[in-house]
Amino acid sequence: MTTSLPVITAETPRRRLPPWLKRPLPSRQMLDTRKLLDGLKLNTVCVEARCPNLTECWSRGTATFMILGEHCTRRCHFCAVGTKKPEPPEADEPQRMAEAAAHLGLKHVVITSVARDDLPDEGAGHFAACIQETRTRLPEATIEVLVPDFHGKPELIRIVTEALPEVYNHNIETVARLQKKARPAARYERSLGVLRTAKELNPRIKTKSGIMVGLGETRDELIQTFHDLREYGCELLTIGQYLQPGGDKYLAVERFYPPDEFDELAEVAKSLGFEAVASGPFVRSSYFAETLFVESDVLRR
């Protein structure tokens, strides 16, 4: 395959990103979204993970809620979310989150969290409460959860699936060879097993996962990961460019993929049977998540 844009490698100076990595300027709606979230004292993955899509998404009046605090019990070397002993879960957070979703008029609500290995249920019950409150406030909305691995425990995964989200998302993040380097507290096979367990517990729930590129993986490794995800029943897939969120404590970008290569990877993934694939430099797990869900729902019908 030939690329129409130059391939940028790690040798390219970090001070200048490729020309396709540009984001829109903020709008008035973005400020309104921020005011609402701040007023309800809610965390978002948009802020905590330094998502490059914050300006665009908040300007569209949407956000991805991050529950269970802003401090994670794990330290992944690609993630900007802070690692520190977390505070106890806030009992009224499900109500505040549902209020924000209702105020924004969201038709597809995405809920994620930090890892809470310190809690007996690792936060599964809090996820269920947030789903239930959102369902009460927005009965017509679809709900997607982006969950930690719960150490692969079926009884914890069941707590979330029994709350009946439409989408159960757990990210594989990178290829098998780079798992320990990128997320030392996780396991490749465990993450695959989480997706399979969720599907077995409720076959009507769509399972979804995401992978970053640019960490030094090979094309063959990516395709093997796609195969593995399909083998474990994953139906929806996101593929996005890894961007180093800060200084040297985070993994460096080994390569910037040009847009047409993302298109090619999407075609490969679709050929393997994924119902819907979002692939592009700025694609993240929750980026235009409603569009991906609707695309897969139409296909299933």
Rg over alpha carbons for the chain, rounded to the nearest Å, is 18
- 243-273: pLDDT as tens digits: 998 888 899 999 999 999 999 999 999 999 9
Query: Which residue in this structure is represented by tokens 């396709």?
Result: 20
The fold for domain 23-300 equals: TIM Barrel (3.20.20)
User: Cβ(146)–Cβ(209) under 8 Å?
Assistant: no
Domain residue spans in the chain? 23-300
pLDDT score at 3: 34
Positive/negative CA dihedral, 77, 47, 20, 145: positive
- 66-124: pLDDT as tens digits: 999 999 999 999 888 888 889 999 999 999 999 999 999 999 999 999 999 999 999 99
User: Cβ(195)–Cβ(232) under 8 Å?
Assistant: yes
User: Cβ(70)–Cβ(11) under 8 Å?
Assistant: no
> In sequence order, what DSSP letters do the residues of 238-267 get, joined into one string?
EEEE----SSTTSPPP-EEPPHHHHHHHHH
How far is the C-alpha of 200 from the C-alpha of 203, rounded, in Å? 6
Arithmetic mean of pLDDT over the chain: 89
Evaluate if residue 125 carries a pLDDT over 70.
yes
